Structure 1
């Protein structure tokens, strides 16, 4: 039980993937706060207790700062620390972009992105003070690679990757690891979107086991773990070496002419931070100036 003594908050945990996350973390020894907008939180907390674990249900919205603050206060009063946050809460409002209302776009971004921001902000100082924290953002292949009808969802999910990238840098000195999980799982949100055989293979439990690698003592930081049907992959945001074309009057035409060379991936890299792009560009420019 690697997470013995740890305290975890799982949002959107009243059913589906959040429920299996909460049950898995409890089996690993963590005390779990089961947060959900609906009334399913109490039932999942009872499941945890029936299996010999400890859980506290909390009904509220991740987009409501006061409710999130109340949850954090209650957690601290009961257990005195918060070690793990799994930002799992989410909704779908799928339509092609041309038919999508701006209200549906804002709502999905608000729940997925701002909900994760609000919950993370509420525990950030606690984790800094205790010099320990493990935070998981739930991203998606729809954000990483796109998916028809999910411009709102994809935008929010890719934004969470950017959020993770910066928080992982800022959290290093206080031993706060921040990672992303990109699940493929059959939940209420995916009903009717996949054939029955696929839904049967994509059980949420097969994803939740990947959490241990992201929230344990030896967790990495800045990782994007993809998971589904018992298979796990890593996704990376990479940078090609590119090509120097200069800034002369024909620079635009040279970009077009060297497009394949600019995109050559044989020596692409995973930058440690965003500044790596500027450093690479300046080195190329200074090298070309020296001849």
Structure 2
């Protein structure tokens, strides 16, 4: 039996924590001892803002945490505003002196087929999901390195990992977070700053229109949060993509197939077409330790071919 996962003495920031997954994450982090800064702008699902709703959403979750004996503060800054994000981190540092856990959870949806999607709707999703996570991570990065401890979780999605009709903007932003995680995990490793992705499937206002009610009943935010607690813990891995839904947990990987040496002769495109099935075969695929590993594999095949 492994040791209990606790967060006593730890400080967590959870963005988009006024409802759904973020609320569940914040409540359960606090229940296990963390001091939690609850961030929520109070935006609707499409990102439109009602300032009064924002204040009440964050304050409501803070009140729940305090009623259960926990410690929490509310913040209503927008993750798309780097000044507001820095102020959010400064608020946590002023109150508690450190930030140990950053849960980049804030998100919106503006679903349309790519043909009908405006560039503004594409850019806004990238600003919220990708740049919002970048701003938050940048604001805590040096402090986490200096204290020799940090846990950063990006909320990715199956829409980014595998695609979803009508979600080109959402999927692009969510897969970009995987690329960000891959590099930051390498850069943070020697400082004990571990960086991971959580790919949740949950019944929230983000999914209420796309799944039948009987499925939504199983896909509770609370059934995803155990994955978040693990990724936020001292026992956390780094560079993991953890998929979670209805209490089922799986890992997703960006892999590299074994590859075939074709060369660059005049018939190389035709050779590639003829051998694509072999190139695409997954039997001997690997999970590279870094992007450099792809180049090393290619050069190994070239040298072996000689």
* Residues 175-220 of structure 1: per-residue CA shift (max 9 Å, x gap): 0000000000011111221111011110100001111221111110
Give distance in 1, aligned partners of 2:243 and 2:30.
22
Give distance in 1, aligned partners of 2:196 and 2:294.
22
1:17 corresponding residue in structure 2: 21
Gaps of at least 5 residues in structure 1 are none
1:268 corresponding residue in structure 2: 285
Give distance in 1, aligned partners of 2:152 and 2:90.
18
1:241 corresponding residue in structure 2: 258
2:238 corresponding residue in structure 1: 221
TM-score (normalizing by structure 2): 0.93
Whether 1:31 aligns to 2:35 is yes
Give distance in 2, aligned partners of 1:230 and 1:25.
17
2:175 corresponding residue in structure 1: 158
Give distance in 2, aligned partners of 1:111 and 1:224.
20
Deviation at 1:242, TM superposition (A): 1.0
Give distance in 1, aligned partners of 2:232 and 2:17.
17
Give the aligned length.
Answer: 289
**Within-5 A mapping of 1:120-139:** 120-139=137-156
* Residues 7-26 of structure 1: per-residue CA shift (max 9 Å, x gap): 00000001111000100111
Whether 1:183 aligns to 2:200 is yes
Please give the secondary structure, in 2, of the residue aligned with 1:188. coil
* Residues 135-185 of structure 1: per-residue CA shift (max 9 Å, x gap): 000000000000000000000000000000000000011000000000000
* Residues 238-291 of structure 1: per-residue CA shift (max 9 Å, x gap): 0000111111111111101111110111111000000010110111111112xx
Please give the secondary structure, in 2, of the residue aligned with 1:178. strand
Gaps of at least 5 residues in structure 2 are 43-53
Please give the secondary structure, in 2, of the residue aligned with 1:68. helix
Give distance in 2, aligned partners of 1:197 and 1:96.
26
1:55 corresponding residue in structure 2: 72
Please give the secondary structure, in 2, of the residue aligned with 1:209. helix
2:272 corresponding residue in structure 1: 255
1:200 corresponding residue in structure 2: 217
* Residues 117-144 of structure 1: per-residue CA shift (max 9 Å, x gap): 0000000011011010000000000000
RMSD: 0.7
* Residues 80-129 of structure 1: per-residue CA shift (max 9 Å, x gap): 00000000000000000000000000000110000000000000011011
**Within-5 A mapping of 1:164-179:** 164-179=181-196
Deviation at 1:3, TM superposition (A): 0.9
Please give the secondary structure, in 2, of the residue aligned with 1:190. coil
Give distance in 1, aligned partners of 2:230 and 2:292.
28
TM-score (normalizing by structure 1): 0.98
2:10 to 2, 6, 12: 6
1:111 to 123, 128, 135: 128
